[in-house]
Chains A and B, each alone.
Chain A
Amino acid sequence: MSIMEIIGSIFIIIGSIFLFLGGLGIYRMPDIYNRLQAGTKATTLGAMSLILGVGFLEPSWMLKALIIIIFIAFSNPISSHALARANYKRKHFPVILSDDKENMDAYREVIEQEDKEVKS
């Protein structure tokens, strides 16, 4: 086994661990926003690390792997932001565990404002 193969395998193992943790996070978290949090971060680093590992195993693919990593870094947060915003607009409000429920939900005022504009 060459040194490149060892580095590549280590990256792939790290990537799969983070992808697994992302899946576990989606299973354990209470509402969609927390699930998105766990899902986005873990899958971004997981997929990046996995693709980088593939690049190390096959050095002629390295540049392509880097391009894919850049695209993942740009598109993954945008998709999770779109999901979160769409869910809020459908009035699936986030679970709030603390006692101070009034101040903990700053986006609610925007939704209420929009509702008023629609009615009037």
Chain B
Amino acid sequence: MQTISFSDKLQRFILNWFFLMLVWIMFTSTFAVQEVVIGAIVTMFISLMSISMFTCCTLKLLSPVRIFWMLYYFVVFLIALVKANLDVARRVLSPSLPINPGVVKFKTKLTTNYSKMVLANSITLTPGTLTIDVIDDTFYIHWIDVTTTDPEKAFTEIAESFEKVLLKIF
């Protein structure tokens, strides 16, 4: 296991604390003093204990540029999700069941585990694709309507629009 510098640990701790506190306030939906104080104490202990587990990112994640790209990613993702559902609806409702399933693979340029996880999840929720496995930088995708088995072309069609944005976030 790699050693982590103290400032990294501190940044992770603050980041975890921030997100846990955000979730707590959204769940209680109140700013009453006793709720907030109890939430701060509990989330502080949890984030102290989980420093070595949630090793996603440092405080750079909260810079305005990255937050802008996250919101942009969210919009891209929502559009893809709605398209995916209309696609499923079209395939399921048409009497001839127009599918041509197969498994394709492609390589990604992403390096960190968290960004690969986000990409894999997004691919699963976009039209006609389902992530079967991720081994190092190779993605294995079940595709409901295969148009190409060439890894490069498959990458352009499935993942390029997401990866561009993810490279800017992580």
Contact = CB atoms under 8 A, between A and B. Distances in A.
Interface residues of B, number: 39
A77 B134 CA distance: 14
B38 to A, nearest CB: 18
Chain A's interface size range is 35 or more
A84 B132 contact: yes
A36 to B, nearest CB: 6
Contact of B124 (A67, A81, A103, A110): A81
B142 interface: yes
Contact of B92 (A25, A33, A73): A25
Contact of B103 (A24, A36, A67, A105): A105
A31 B142 CA distance: 12
Instruction: Determine the main DSSP class of B at the interface with A.
Output: mixed
Contacts, number: 130
Interface in A71-120: 73-74, 76-78, 80-81, 84-85, 88, 94-98, 100, 103-108, 110
B120 A33 contact: no
Interface of B: 23, 26-27, 29, 81-82, 84-85, 87-89, 91-93, 97, 99-105, 120-122, 124-125, 128-133, 135, 140, 142, 144, 146, 149
Interface of A: 18, 21-22, 24-25, 28-31, 33-34, 36-38, 40-42, 44-45, 60, 63-64, 66-67, 73-74, 76-78, 80-81, 84-85, 88, 94-98, 100, 103-108, 110
8 contacts: A21-B89, A21-B92, A41-B81, A94-B102, A96-B102, A104-B103, A106-B103, A107-B105
